[in-house]
Structure 1
């Protein structure tokens, strides 16, 4: 289960993430609550904050992927983490001084969004350099386990911390926690990184990456599924604050507890993914099942009558969600070459997070118009529909070609075999054998 932790560089990275991710989730809870307070509990204002934070992803993630293929990922990560720490420090100082306003929070959301848009493709592709291709699924799952362990601890601390000391101190704690990641990056040994061929600066590299993905039907299928599920289904990270305050009437600690219960499911799912990743490679069947399960569980959660039952329903929902996200991430990373990984991950991040500028205001509008539970019910139904549609398309088209086998319809898709998305970068056509007679034949007028 912990095979990738045998690599020293990855252990340093992993240790820093354990500390930093707790601070990240403390800031996430504090930021949502601060926006709620400054706006008079307005769901639309919360949606705008989310949109502003993720809007830079639409503009920068593809470019960040190109940059990740060109430059030293470790040094670039140092710059990005320093910027994230500075953003948290400024927001914390403004809040603790009592001078923070809603427009300042919005502006700092954009700043954080810019650094995050650069961070995710670089960090995702950097994992492969730390552990090597064979350990990617295990390392991705362990990263997710750390992230979701922090989602258990961080919101719980933030909920009581906000009540006791206010939101400002949560931002300052996050700024300090980011130093753990910076320290880990500085202590790494660059000569032990498994680096691919350096991609020199040239024109058309972004178009080259897009064309590469467009020519890979397996990658296209994963990208389409991830976009629709993440945009319309995985919106409960935003809508949870709305449900906590406007549906069940709880304070910050109640919101923190709901986030913790959701994180219990995601953390458990991450550990299962780490165990699975150490034994076998990811498969499309699991991805589709996880997407459909996510939609069903989210729809059911929308109709839970009490705060306690709703919170319990978040645990299996979190499990299905992280299974879907981990499987998609590992499928993409193991399917591409090292020279293309940064650009492909930039596109993956775009489809994963790029819908958030739409989803944020959409969630606020749905909660205002149809009630606080509606983002769960509507998002769940859409997730089920897209999962079924993708499965039907794969069956109709005869499946996607994989090394040595095909996904030929739903019968094979849901059979015990586990096809793996791990295609070679290029396939050159074998030279055709031409007979001596054909070589000497005179071409006809029709052939000319």
Structure 2
């Protein structure tokens, strides 16, 4: 089935409750099939649930796209250690805005997914690590957790199953680096948020050096639907290697920016149609498929399937499906500079390539945008990017260079134009200096 046909035929799954009255309450959630999947899951063996998620093909919705069931299966069993589940709700990628609306509108879908996941991996403690700036979202999550405790869905002997689970909502301090799973774990433990050396991986040495699963909000919120619908139903949406529904975040120069649920593999052309097209009819110039840390696409990529394989084959990454849309009025060097300033500010400073490299990239781009660039600056930018990519401690460095390298790849002429403007200005100043009259006899 073509992606356009999928988009037209799709009945909302992840967002189906969002517009219901008081959708965030337990009462509304239970009226709309809420916690029915939990009862089904608790009647099954944990290993059956892991296999079900493996069969569904669910892949991490936080950016990396790692198979979720496989990640759960990595947790060693009968090891005598406590197991932990951590939800990465530190949504800090520029342009990404899907997890916060999900937690605001339907927090119980996340909580039900957490209980099922914790049961599957034999964890009795789960933490939701939320970005500290979204205070209203944190309050709503806390209220939903209290409701779940009062209804017997959390705590001791859940639904008389003999399974115990405690859930806490933890507010981060607003550091982009804490979106990296090991930096998140350090922050959760009360340390400075910095990425850890891997291996060991969280599956064997995560939170408090114990086996831990770290998953994104949208990933875990998908689990109850898989339990109720089955793996074949989940695979009926999306594409073979990237099945299921997906929340795409559209921002920028579109008529109706917002969250759009569509099958994995939908195209920007499909999504723009849902969003009412380009704002004011000004043509598309460039866009990000998965936030600012993914290489840019242009108007020529309108029909690229937005799933993990499709985006990669076209030279970018699906990332968090944060589609930032820019029309022809936007300068590419200016946009790249603004993103680079963000990464310079958010670099944790642990490794030299990222700490020093993002600083110099920002300095060069700021000078170019001021109209003081030189043609050799383009080669310098690419050289610095080459010394960061693949050499930084975590993926922040790789993400920081992506918009620069792709921006120069597709819009080198705009960077050169800035340099030509500078050259013309220097020539004018030199000419004016030559024509300036000399005051004769000034020293006499």
TM-score normalized by structure 1?
0.26
Which has the higher Rg, Structure 1 or Structure 2? 2
Q: Output the TM-score relative to the length of structure 2.
A: 0.26
Question: Which one has a larger percent strand, Structure 1 or Structure 2?
Answer: 2
Structure with higher helix content = 1
